[in-house]
C-alpha cells in the first residue's frame, strides 16, 4: 500500500473548490484511458487574474487531492502565473507521490492548461457557446 504525505490525505478527505462554476470563463476536460480518471477544471477570470477555480474529478484519491491543491494555489494568480504555479506544484507533489500515481497530477495540470487555452480562445473570438466555431476560424 502506498504511503501518502499528510497534506495529500487532507486534500483527498476534505477537497477544496469541488464542483462546477456554471458560468466559467474556461473549462478544461481531460481523461486518462489507462486508469479511467476524468477531470474538469473550471476557471473564472477578471482581467488576467483567476478569481475562482474549481474542479470535478472522477478518479482516485491522488487525482482528487492534486486537483484540490492546484485550484487552491492558482486563485488570485494571473494566467501565466497559474501555469508557472502548476509546474512548481507539479514538482513538489510529484516528488511525494508513488510512481504509479504521477499521471493523476498530470491530469490536473493538463486540465488547467486547457481551461486557460479555452479562455484565451474566447477572447480571440475562436470559441463561442461551449464549442469551437470553425466557420469563424476559417474567415480569418
What are the cell numbers at 124? 480571440
Question: In the numeric block, which cell numbers belong to residue 48?
Answer: 488576467
Catalytic residue among 18, 32, 35, 49: 35
Q: Which tens digit of pLDDT belongs to each residue from 59-104? A: 888 788 888 989 999 999 999 999 888 777 766 776 777 777 666 6
97: CB partners within 8 A, 6+ apart: 4, 8, 62, 104, 105
Most distant pair of Cα atoms in the chain: their distance: 55
121 belongs to the catalytic site: no
Residues in the chain, overall count: 140
Helix (H) or strand (E) run with residue 37 in it = none
3-state secondary structure of 25: coil
| 7-34 residue pLDDT tens | 878 888 999 999 999 999 999 999 887 7
User: Which one of the listed residues 45, 63, 104, 107 is annotated catalytic?
Assistant: 104
Q: Where are the domains of the chain?
A: 6-115
**How far apart, in whole angstroms, are the C-alpha atoms of residue 37 and residue 41?**
13
- Annotated catalytic residue 35: yes
6-115 folds as Sufe protein. Chain: A (3.90.1010)
Amino acid at each position: 500500500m502506498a504511503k501518502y504525505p499528510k497534506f495529500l490525505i487532507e486534500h483527498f478527505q476534505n477537497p477544496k473548490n469541488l464542483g462546477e462554476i456554471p458560468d466559467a470563463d474556461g473549462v478544461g476536460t481531460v481523461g486518462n484511458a489507462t486508469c479511467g480518471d476524468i477531470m474538469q477544471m473550471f476557471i473564472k477570470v477578471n482581467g488576467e487574474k483567476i478569481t475562482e477555480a474549481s474542479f470535478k474529478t472522477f478518479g482516485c484519491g491522488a487525482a482528487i487531492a492534486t486537483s484540490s491543491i492546484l485550484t487552491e494555489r492558482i486563485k488570485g494568480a494571473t494566467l501565466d502565473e497559474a501555469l508557472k504555479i502548476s509546474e512548481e506544484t507539479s514538482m513538489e507533489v510529484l516528488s511525494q507521490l508513488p510512481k504509479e500515481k504521477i499521471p493523476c497530477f498530470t491530469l490536473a495540470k493538463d486540465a488547467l492548461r486547457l481551461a486557460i487555452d479555452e479562455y484565451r480562445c474566447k477572447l480571440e473570438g475562436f470559441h463561442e457557446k461551449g464549442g469551437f466555431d470553425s466557420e469563424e476560424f476559417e474567415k480569418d
